[in-house]
Amino acid sequence: MRKGQAAMEYLMTYGWAILIIIVVIAALYAMGVFKVGKPTVACSPCFSNFAFVDYSTAGGSGTLVIRNGPEQRNITSLSVGSMATDSECQLNQICDAGKTIKITGIPTTGDQTITITYISIDSGLTHTDTATIHNP
């Protein structure tokens, strides 16, 4: 084997290894693994049976928008705030899967724990789900 060929094979092998490492680090950076600071989601831990959509503190009080999970539910109570009149789901009415729930009147001072009590239409059982909202 010639010296030039051996050197070129050496450089190519380590070149590919370094390229793969750079791609992996770039992918991790894009996923936010290296970000430090407050969480980007306003609630943590969030609800386990409702999907977080958005949270805003504009207008002096907090407004939380969540999406109902994969089953029909009858939301019977909220511990903090109230259902907005323009919400797709209302208290004590059947809320279809995938519909949005808008909770208004959440205090914007300190962390707020919101508890939702609902009845599963499929099973008829009562459940409780909680989330903590982190205000700036």
Question: Which pLDDT tens digit goes with each residue over 55-94?
Answer: 888 878 889 999 998 999 999 999 988 888 889 999 999 9
* Token digits of residue 112: 């707020």
Mean pLDDT of 15-19: 92
* Token digits of residue 62: 């907090």
Res 40 pLDDT > 70 = no
State residue 5's pLDDT score.
86
Global pTM exceeds 0.75 = no
Length of the chain in terms of residues written: 136
Of the candidates 103, 93, 51, the residue with the CA atom closest to the CA atom of residue 72: 93
Topology classification of domain 50-133: Immunoglobulin-like (2.60.40)
Task: Report the chain's mean pLDDT, rounded to a whole number.
Answer: 88
Give SS3 for 128: strand
